[in-house]
Structure 1
Amino acid sequence: MSFARTLFAPEHDQFRDIARRFLQAELVPHHAQWEKDKIVPREIWRKAGAMGLLCPNMPEEYGGAGGDWLYNVVVIEELARLGLTGPGFMVHSEMCAPYILDYGSEELKREWLPKMVTGEAIGAIGLTEPGAGSDLKSIRLRADRVGDDYVLNGQKVYISNGQNADLVMTAAKTDPNAGARGVSLVLVPTATTGFERGRNLEKLGLKGQDTSELFYSDVRVPVTNRIGAEGAGFSMLMTKLAQERLTQAVRSAAVCEAVLAETVAYVKERKAFGHTLGDFQNTQFVLAQLDAEITAQRLFVDHCIAAHLRGGLDPVLAAKVKLIGSELHCKTVDQCLQFYGGYGYMLEYPIARAYIDARIVKIAGGAVEVMKQIIWRDLEKRNG
């Protein structure tokens, strides 16, 4: 990188060194096997928890270190730079735990958050259904009130951490006639009678991260397992989506930087027609263009991180940084892979794995088309 980032204090840099050493020692040597197994052993979660890599911004009263969100950023970036897509730490720390911390009852916080910090309990978030992807208002899974309980019936699909999860933050319809205002969030322990995991799904990429179908058949949980008010699920999801989209952008920026650096090193060594690939002007121009765009995106991402730390990340800005980051992520791995020729098509090369892992970024956290819709609505409003 051609400039110094100013977000991080010395303690963040020290934590980065610890995280990087741990990931290189405990994850990198085994990641290829986990991709074949389609799951990461629970032992790794507990080891990561012991090193402070899970929910590092969790307050001390709930078992965490009480750090700021920059510690989370460090973990996201170091996983991305090493090409470690297997453990679903991002889903656990950035998508599940924040709902419990910000909206859960004190009882739920004390029951689950310390276990999530240590890796004893693994979290997932159950939103997507076979007939409802980006359109969360159209979910069909029901949570019917029966006395002091909810009885849940329905199905979720494409749920990251689904095989390993001990708890699933489940979006359910508590009022099927109220549209978005009929959506509630209910915390469902996976040991509950009637909860079943389906297949560990075959995916294009992110092969080490378990992704599942989930089935709810008369799953009964106390009403006290609801997160926030009844019918407030959709509004809570919208509030947290800005952080989720920024998280995706943080990961994409780190991947772009790592892939570019690896490619520059490769083209300086790889010979063709009596020269290195780096000697050719086309190589220089393509990689120079990518470097300029990646630098611009890095500045944009860091600006958004700073805004989020202040509590002022605008949802439209989050959509923009996620949109641009997703597009650049896919462009970078595609153009860099080209320089590897046939080697780039072999999965033993990190660039090939980066390529197949990249495609999800245009879907996860909201499809790029949804991001464009959000941006257009704001643009139309500002120029109406």
Structure 2
Amino acid sequence: MKRWSMGIISALITLLFCGNAFATGTIKIGGLFAVTGPAAFIGDPAKKTLEMLVNDTNRKGGINGIKLETVIYDTGGDPTKAVQLATRLIKDDKVNVIVGPSTTGETMAVIPLVEKAKIPMISSAAGGKIVDPVKHWVFKTAASDHIAVQKLLNYVHSKNQKRIALLTVSDGFGTSGREQLKAYAAKQGFTVVADEVFGPKDTDMTPQLTKIRGIKPDAIIAWALNPGMSIITKEVKQLDIKVPLYMCHGAATTKYLELAGDATEGVIHPAGKMAIYDSLPKSDPQAKLLKDYYLEYKKLYGEEATTFGGYAYDAFQLIASAIKKGNTTPEQLRNGIEQAKNLPSVSGIFNMSPKDHNGLDLSSLAMVKITKGKWVMITK
């Protein structure tokens, strides 16, 4: 009896020791961001945001006494490099969770690796196919392109613009958006009168736009990121095309405004609330969070916070929420992220589930119109 009692006592001491040891331990967060290259406008602010939040958290004592550590690599937006660096994060750095990559192509390339290694990954990319169908270890914080497509087409439909022309880039982001646009256009009774595609490195889309101009659609919908969307915007003006120009949610960046200049006047697109944070009512559950993030980021880095940096903010919120509930191992973190409910963050109110690893709905985006170089909300 004494031996049995001593065994229990010994086990309890061991558990207590281990618990206290981990309470002062560290959780490693890996980062895969396109800090350089064409997608740097997504990756660089995401990297800075994650570092800012981790440093701030550690200064305050960590989460439940647990400190956080970041190991971040620049993928340059290259899927092959992303796989190599993800391998390093998992095998050499032994991270508990990965934030990123920044683009759909990179993310799709890394998915088989994290699924096999059983490491949770929270992508910053928009492609719906990242989480549809659901992958056990993969999540994402950018609103899926099908959400942006629905939001946009609902608005176009309300304006009775039924004959639409599509102009999309042939990379992972554009291909996924094109598929969603065509699928939802068919459901909502639109007629796609032009379906033009261009390459990620193309610098002249006048042949496609000239063809579209001749067809005389009710509206043009472009689905691309910079520099493509800026080139399209300027060439639409140069060709004196008068029909409304709609952009994807990727247009919610000051870089787009800078590159396309005055040609952006009147462009309409869906956008996360970060772009219009200063005009949100105080009653909006994201209002204070967005303002605080913007001001802290601006103070630290001397530049404006963006929707794209917000994707890393969201990932951190999901990870921190899971840790606060006692989740520390990769599997526990995965489960905690999947159980996130009514979690306000930059991209929206997250409600994850086993069937939804994005956790956002149409309310995460607003429709905005660019007026005098600023975004103005025209509908929630």
TM-score, normalised to structure 2's length? 0.29
Greater Rg by CA? 2
Higher helix share: 1
TM-score, normalised to structure 1's length? 0.29
